[in-house]
Amino acid sequence: MGNTARGSEEVNRGPWHVAVLMGGWSAEREVSLMSGNGVADALESRGHRVTRIDMDRDVALRLAEAKPDVVFNALHGVPGEDGTVQGMLDLMGLKYTHSGLVTSVIAIDKELTKQALVPHGIPMPTGTMVDSESLFSVDPLPRPYVLKPVNEGSSVGVAIVKDDSNYGNPIARDAVGPWQEFDRLLAEPFIKGRELTVAVLGDQALAVTELRVKSGFYDYDAKYTDGLTEHVCPADVPEDVAQRMKDLALKSHRLLGCKGASRSDFRWDDEHGLAGIYLLEVNTQPGMTPLSLVPEQGRAVGMDYAELVERIVGEAL
């Protein structure tokens, strides 16, 4: 289910001509631009030729003109993370980083991800799809529960509904939340405890990072605003818990057919030990900004940012 545009020829050691795809028009545009420019700077520092492309509707024409050896997909969200761009690159016969079409389609959809992983023993929260309109008359689950779009990343549009929340009971129509933007949402029980994440590169789970948010929860602002979240890497958790998360992240990466780097996000209810670990989602296009978790975990295992980028490109080639 991976990147089908990749050939089996011996890896070209470079220097390479890399087109870095970034920007686009998703809710995560600004983060993608930071990721893409960081990647481009790193590749140029290693002597590679780089063409930076802020994706627009003429992206296929611009790629055809550039004729790169490989495309570094630094897009986040739709259409760079959901299989659309991957399908275009497959049709053009271009090699590209990260996961292929089928994997991307499944992994960006939280319900499809559960259907792919839970039967293989990956613990994930039980969830139910709800019409946003129904939320204004009855709660879909006992409070506290989480509402999220089924196919957005970076915690875009996530709401935690508690007894003491200011959304109302039931949720009020004029309360600001994802129900105003999305017709259908995924409702999941809220798992109390700690937020942790594991990056996988190729066939290696790198490290476990705990995300300690200074206030609220690990939403889009907390992820990408310096100073709002403390990253503890390696996480201060028991060794068996850290190993279990790394095993689950690597297994999920393989089951979904991920390529290059992925990042698995977890909640851990530390009152229940190993049984308190739940996978929330697998990100096939993890951020590569200065605040991002994959570069941080790369450093934790002795890999600098430029080396990490070259490893991802090398696998695509």
- Residues with catalytic function: 28, 154, 224, 263, 265, 281, 283, 287
At 76, which amino acid appears?
A: H
The answer to whether the CB of 77 falls within 8 A of the CB of 286 is no
Place of tokens 């978790």: 293
Q: How far apart are the first and last CA of the chain?
A: 17
